[in-house]
Amino acid sequence: MTDRDPDLSRVLKSWPHQPPPAPRFKAEVWARIEAAREAPWAAAAFIAGKLGVPARHFRWALPLGASLLLTFAAVAGIGAGTLRTTLTENDRMAAAYVQTIDPLQMAAGHAD
């Protein structure tokens, strides 16, 4: 069968498909959108219920907690990077110093 089969083209053109519209489609879409908007607050309400705090007082805690966690991760990453750089730099400086005072190291440095 090729793309130029006239019988197939004629049959396909004469076969329109009109699916029936879904009942309450728009209402169900909006219901899902509203449920998705409330999903993070549902988690906050669950946690607040476990802690015994009213949910309306707990709504600010979820974004605040995420912000604090992100800030802590950034500070920890910067601190770890700075520490690593400092330790590596100290090792390089120590190796350079040893090379200037140790005759064997001086000979190894000039062999390059």
Q: 7-60, pLDDT tens digit by residue?
A: 888 888 888 888 888 889 999 999 988 887 776 677 777 777 788 877 777 767
CA 16 to mean position of chain CA atoms: 44
pTM reported for the whole predicted model: 0.42
DSSP alpha helices (H): ranges in 1-112? Answer: 6-13, 25-51, 55-58, 61-101, 103-110
Per the CB < 8 A criterion, the answer to whether 22 and 13 are in contact is no
How is the chain split into domains, by residue range?
A: 23-59, 60-112
Cβ count near 45 (within 10 Å): 16
**E strand or H helix at 53:** none
